[in-house]
Amino acid sequence: MSGNRFGEKFEFLEHTADVYVRAFGVSLQEAYENAALAMFETITKSGKVAQEEGEVITVEAEDLYALLYSWLEALLVNSEINGMLYSKFHIFDWTETGDSFKFTAHVWGEKFQPEKHVQKVAVKAITYHRMAVICEKEGSAVLEFILDI
């Protein structure tokens, strides 16, 4: 395991047109949380997003790739529909059955305020292109995905 997985939550990789993200975690849950943080860091400076309002989101999918896609898409849709930005994510109630993965997450953020939140780039969609879910034997995980901007 490289040293940056302990000290960094995510990193942006080189990509010609979109945003390519690698998110780290000591567990799958933490990697999914950090993937969400990376997406919102793409949109704005996540450190400026107060954790004033909380929501609960549940996602379910047939595999870990679809789960990552569904998670990020649910956050993006909630963000667009409700005018919210998120900066804190806590996944709990992670369950795996023979044919599905499911978790519930508590997410915190605040309404978008143009005078407070710097707009970086708009994320149009999450893609499966070059998506990777790497589970390491000691329990840590690395997620790679591309955000269509």
Residues 56-106 have pLDDT tens digits of 999 999 999 999 999 999 999 999 999 999 999 999 999 999 899 999 999
* Separation between Cα atoms, residue 129 and residue 120, nearest integer Å: 22
Query: If you average pLDDT over residues 1-7, what whole number do you get?
Result: 46
Per-residue pLDDT tens over the stretch 128-142: 999 999 999 888 999
- Helix axis angle for 28-43 and 64-82, nearest 10°, is 40
Q: What is the pTM of this model?
A: 0.90
- For domain 19-148, give the CATH superfamily: Archease domain (3.55.10.10)
Kindly report the length of the chain: 149
Average pLDDT, integer, range 123-129: 94
Residue 29, pLDDT score: 97
For residues 16-54, b (16+ Cβ closer than 10 Å) or e, as one string?
A: eebbbbbbbbeebbbbbbbbbbbbbbbbbebeebeeeee
Rounded distance between C-alpha atoms, residue 12 and residue 66, angstroms: 21
Task: Give the pLDDT confidence score for residue 5 in this predicted structure.
Answer: 47
Mean pLDDT of 1-15: 62
DSSP 18-83: SEEEEEEESSHHHHHHHHHHHHHHHHS-GGG----EEEEEEEEESSHHHHHHHHHHHHHHHHHHHT
33-62 per-position pLDDT tens digit: 999 999 999 999 999 999 999 999 999 999
